[in-house]
Amino acid sequence: MTALLSLLRLRTSSFAALISCASYVNSTNEFLLRIFIILFITAFLVTSFGFVINDYIDREKDLVGRYDKAIPLKKVSPRNALILASCLLGFFMFTTYQLPSEAQELTLLITILLVAYSFINNQYGIASNILVAVLCVLIMLLGVESGTGHIPIELIGAMISVFFFIFGREILLDITDKLSDSSTGKSSLCLSYGDNTAIVISMSSVAIAMISALLTGIIGESMLYILISSLGANVITGVLVIKVLTQSKSGVVSFINYSFMPFTMIILSIFLAV
């Protein structure tokens, strides 16, 4: 059961649901607890579905160099993963039906893009990085469409920041997948141009995210200094880990999950207060 639940990425899926709900709260003139709860459940299930279906489609590729996923480790069978994805699909299609029609249409679009991402990700790394960032913005937009459908200027700034931040994070994560990606012929920034170039582009994208947040008033100068300090620490640590632990992919993955991911949550938590 624990292995099956690990496919859902409970922490990330919950956070995506919170971001969607925050977008709803900040874009509606009439807060409805019922919509808030249904939206949280829907966004959580949609995000979890994306993770599960991606793990299922990537099951062959993940046999090479991925020591942190349940299917390659044979803790979860491909059949059970597909059943779980099907159940999640059925559940969130039911909950989505309780949301406004615009939100229903957007959920359908997100579902199609999640499946498309899983196939694109096997060959086109840069395109898949962009698509992940777009999907994160669409999850935020789902909250807006569950309310009035009107996007406040501050929320537009938050969406831009989220896009660039997630895009930068995905580029960095590709470094941990170099072995499996190279074995399948997948293209990525780090494989095409090297780790150092990928890291520079990744951190530049994160910097754009913070600048956007600053210009749109999401964060103040004092908070920006804190974020830059945190970013600097992550860059230094990240470069050291990637250079020193090139033979230990699980070590790099642990760094990403427990160092860069909390930093992601720091920035996105600010958007909850927009």
Q: Are residues 28 and 112 in the same domain?
A: yes
**How far is it, in rounded angstroms, from Cα 190 to Cα 250?**
18
Which span out of 29-33, 61-65, 70-74 was modeled with the highest average pLDDT?
29-33
pLDDT tens string 104-148: 999 999 999 998 888 887 777 788 889 989 998 999 899 888 887
Q: Are residues 83 and 161 in the same domain?
A: no
Domain boundary among 103, 132, 149: 149
If phi > 0 it is left, if psi is from -120 to 50 it is alpha, else beta; for residue 101 that is alpha
Q: Are residues 47 and 64 in the same domain?
A: yes
Give 210: exposed, middle or buried? Use CB within 10 Å, 0-12, 13-18, 19+. buried
**How far is it, in rounded angstroms, from Cα 140 to Cα 138?**
5
Write phi, then psi, for 187 (nearest 5 degrees). Answer: -95, 145
Q: Span 206-230, mean pLDDT?
A: 62
Q: Are residues 114 and 158 in the same domain?
A: no
How many domains, the chain? 2
Q: For residue 34, what is the domain's CATH number?
A: 1.10.357.140
Contacts of residue 68, Cβ cutoff 8 Å, sequence gap at least 6: 250, 253
Q: Are residues 1 and 127 in the same domain?
A: yes
pLDDT tens string 37-68: 999 999 999 999 998 898 888 777 766 655 56
Q: Are residues 179 and 145 in the same domain?
A: no
* Amino acid letter, 3: A
Confidence of residue 193 (pLDDT cuts 50, 70, 90): confident
Q: Span 213-219, mean pLDDT?
A: 66
Domain boundary among 114, 149, 184: 149
Q: Span 253-269, mean pLDDT?
A: 47
Q: Are residues 137 and 209 in the same domain?
A: no
Q: Are residues 94 and 230 in the same domain?
A: no
| pLDDT at residue 212 is higher than 70 | yes
Confidence of residue 181 (pLDDT cuts 50, 70, 90): low
Higher confidence at residue 240 or residue 187? 187
Which domain range does residue 58 map to? 1-149
CA distances in angstroms from 144 to 12, 25, 32, 33, 223, listed in the order given: 20, 8, 13, 15, 26
Q: Are residues 163 and 204 in the same domain?
A: yes
Strand partners, 70: none
| pLDDT at residue 98 is higher than 60 | yes
Q: Are residues 10 and 128 in the same domain?
A: yes
Confidence of residue 192 (pLDDT cuts 50, 70, 90): confident
Which span out of 100-104, 168-172, 231-235, 267-271 was modeled with the highest average pLDDT?
100-104
Mean pLDDT of all residues in the chain? 75
**How far is it, in rounded angstroms, from Cα 7 to Cα 47?**
11
Q: Are residues 120 and 196 in the same domain?
A: no
Domain boundary among 149, 182, 208: 149
Return the percentage of the chain with pLDDT > 90, whole number: 14
Q: Are residues 141 and 180 in the same domain?
A: no
The pLDDT value given to residue 42: 93
